[in-house]
């Protein structure tokens, strides 16, 4: 409570000035301590949401300070203040508003070949101007992102198309194949806990993120992968324990 001590002191002083206390609201214990009683305790408890709102940014700041000195990769999250979510929502809202205004305009807009357009909003990564209403980040940050190179979307699209073709061929070769997600959750998922992600990726063709989600039970994979997963579990069970 120390970071918000001035607010607490102001609250207590205001309570002392505005409230008349009664004897029944206090009790002295056998060891000489004085304790509060209802209804005073109820009134004080109602102020707890106020202190929670004041302390949440402080708690997140301390958590981020510890996270930055940890070994390994750390990504600051804001589950209490939801600051990152609010910032992202503000960017999306500004982009939608800019798009709406552009579509509503009936005047032909001439783009200058030398001068850049006025910024629509600031980039959430570097704070630079964003002039393209279709982008959330600035052109420099997009160009510097390895995941945004022209080759990456092409490879991703080709992999997705190949996976869809493989699933279509499997469903054509196995018409009416029964699929029971409860059986997967009950008989397959527990055994995947000891199977390495690399083995799941090689056996099913999943990405590392997808294999991790499947092993954690976040989603159920296509039934065509179940036989391969069962074989992995059986192979893992035959591996002697160290």
- What does the pLDDT look like over 80-122, one tens digit per residue? 888 888 888 888 888 888 877 777 765 545 444 444 455 667 8
pLDDT the model gives residue 34: 93
* Helix, strand or coil, per DSSP, at residue 87: helix
113-150: per-residue pLDDT in tens?
444 455 667 888 888 888 887 788 888 888 887 777 76
pLDDT the model gives residue 118: 57
73-77, 158-162, 166-170, 175-179: the lowest-pLDDT one = 175-179
> Do 191 and 207 share a domain, yes or no?
yes
- Quickly count: other Cβ atoms within 10 Å of residue 120's Cβ: 19
**Whose CA is closest to 204, among 237, 228, 220?**
228
> Do 237 and 185 share a domain, yes or no?
yes
> Do 160 and 214 share a domain, yes or no?
no
pTM: 0.39
Residue 110 lies in a domain: no
179-226: per-residue pLDDT in tens?
788 888 888 899 998 889 999 999 888 888 888 999 988 888 888 888
pLDDT surpasses 70 at 157: yes
pLDDT over 90 for what percent of the chain? 7
Burial class of 184 by CB neighbour count within 10 A (0 to 12, 13 to 18, 19+): buried
Which tokens belong to 95? 């982009």
Total domain count, the chain: 4
Whole-number Å distance between alpha carbons of 62 and 50: 19
Cα dist. 156→159, 161, 163, 198, 200 in Å?
Answer: 5, 9, 11, 19, 19
pLDDT the model gives residue 165: 86
Residue 68 lies in a domain: no
**Run of H or E including 213:** helix 208-215
> Rounded to an integer, what is the distance from CA 48 to the centroid of its chain?
27
Q: What average pLDDT does the chain have?
A: 82
Q: ω before 39 within 30° of 0 (cis)?
A: yes
Sign of CA dihedral 93, 99, 101, 103: negative
Question: What's the CATH number where 232 sits?
Answer: 1.10.260
Residue 213 lies in a domain: yes
Residue 70 lies in a domain: no
Tokens 């029944």 map to which residue?
A: 24
> Do 51 and 90 share a domain, yes or no?
no
pLDDT the model gives residue 115: 44
> Do 240 and 207 share a domain, yes or no?
yes
Residue 53 lies in a domain: yes
44-57: per-residue pLDDT in tens?
888 888 888 888 88
Residue 104 lies in a domain: no
> Do 168 and 219 share a domain, yes or no?
no
* Helix, strand or coil, per DSSP, at residue 21: coil
> Do 158 and 187 share a domain, yes or no?
no
Residue 69 lies in a domain: no
Residue 71 lies in a domain: no
What range does the domain containing 160 cover?
149-178
């Amino acid at each position: 409570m120390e970071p918000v001590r001035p607010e607490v002191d102001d609250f207590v002083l205001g309570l002392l000035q505005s409230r008349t206390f009664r004897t029944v609201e206090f009790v002295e214990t056998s060891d000489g301590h004085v304790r509060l009683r209802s209804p005073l305790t109820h009134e004080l408890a109602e102020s707890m949401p106020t202190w929670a709102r004041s302390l949440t940014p402080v708690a997140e700041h301390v958590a981020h300070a510890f996270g930055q000195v940890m070994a390994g990769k750390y990504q600051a999250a804001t589950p209490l203040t939801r600051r990152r979510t609010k910032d992202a929502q503000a960017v999306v809202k500004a982009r939608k508003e800019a798009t709406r205004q552009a579509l509503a305009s009936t005047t032909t807009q001439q783009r200058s070949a030398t001068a850049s357009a006025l910024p629509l909003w600031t980039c959430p990564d570097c704070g630079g101007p964003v002039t393209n209403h279709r982008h959330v980040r600035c052109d420099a940050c997009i160009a510097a992102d390895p995941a945004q190179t022209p080759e990456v979307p092409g490879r991703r699209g080709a992999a997705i198309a190949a996976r869809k073709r493989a699933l279509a061929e499997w469903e054509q070769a196995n018409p009416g194949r029964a699929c029971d997600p409860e059986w997967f959750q009950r008989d397959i998922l527990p055994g995947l806990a000891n199977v390495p992600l690399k083995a799941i990726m090689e056996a099913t063709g999943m990405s590392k993120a997808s294999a991790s989600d499947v092993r954690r039970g976040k989603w159920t994979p296509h039934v065509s992968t179940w036989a391969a997963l069962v074989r992995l579990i059986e192979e893992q069970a035959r591996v002697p324990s160290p």
